[in-house]
Amino acid sequence: MSTEDRAKATAENIEGKVQAAAAEITGDRKAKAEGEAKQAEAQAIHAKEDVKDSLKKAID
């Protein structure tokens, strides 16, 4: 498990949530889409780290 990668993904997820929420208030569709994309990317990073953790456990 890469703690650094998980921390970056969590920060990106939070940033995406804030951006999407602010865009929802202002009605900025592009910014909302960008915020949602950041959240999706963060989820993908977490999923990748989960797979890496599972493989490491299986090998150990």
| pLDDT tens sequence for the chain (60 residues) | 578 989 999 999 999 999 999 999 999 999 999 999 999 999 999 999 999 999 989 998
pTM here?
Answer: 0.84
CA 51, CA 1: separation in Å to the nearest integer?
9
Residues ≥6 apart with Cβ < 8 Å to 49: 1, 2, 5, 6, 9
Distance of CA 11 to the CA centre of its chain: 7
3-state SS class at 16? helix
Place of tokens 């569709």: 29
